[in-house]
Amino acid sequence: MRQYWWKILTIILLLYTFIAGLLVPLPHETAYVNSNLYESMRNFFFHVPMWFGQLGLITVSLVYSIKYLRKPDPVYDIYATEFARTGTVFGILGLITGAIWANYTWGAAWSNDPKQIGAAIALLIYVAYFVLRNSMPDIDKRSRVAAVYNIFAYFIYIPMILILPRLTESLHPGGKGSEGNPGMGGNSLDATLKLVFWPGVLGWTLLATWISTLRLRVRLLEEKKHTA
């Protein structure tokens, strides 16, 4: 039972996020209170936590790539691959939920906003990681090259989604001259929303970890069969 506690916590947190996210009162000090944009703010509890989960996964993937370069253990390579794989999926989900939100808030699913462009490029860099892996038949060479690429990908990814958008004109909250939703960014986040947002971040991150561990179990079983 001890090994399942965090999975039970994941289910509780996500149920809480879905229910509270749909029912919690939104801040009234916003220009959108009398329009359909007002309720679209509830996407905040899903869109942003997905990116938090994705960032956590690719960070774990980075750690295992570094560990592989220090000690070429195939298990480290498998961990790095699967955490990056789930992280990429969560990044795609974050991009899709962001596009849905943008369609209601800014009038178009894609507005060429710097943060949208940065996120898309960052995800393509991780897609290239898997293309690179599949292009090399030699297992040892593939693992080494992929580990090095994963490290570079991570340190390109961070500026693309966290730093550069803040230095340019952006519709997202936090960007230079931003025109994003009031109460949706940084220190201005409403206290009531924080009670849903942060459990949501933890819940989505745990879900991402859960999916990764399931993938890892399958991959390790497959490797065990091949070496038997």
Question: Domain segments of the chain: what residues?
Answer: 2-227
Backbone angles phi, psi at 57, to 5 degrees: -65, -45
Q: At what angle do helices 44-70 and 5-23 cross, to 10 degrees?
A: 150
Please tell me the distance from the alpha carbon of residue 49 to that of residue 31, in angstroms, as a whole number.
24
What pLDDT was estimated at residue 105? 78
pTM of the full predicted structure? 0.87
What pLDDT was estimated at residue 28? 60
In the chain, which residues have pLDDT < 50? 30-35, 178-184, 186
What pLDDT was estimated at residue 173? 62
What pLDDT was estimated at residue 176? 53
Q: CATH fold of 2-227, please?
A: Four Helix Bundle (Hemerythrin (Met), subunit A) (1.20.120)
Please tell me the distance from the alpha carbon of residue 179 to that of residue 185, in angstroms, as a whole number.
11
Tokens of 24: 């919690």
Tokens of 55: 């960032």
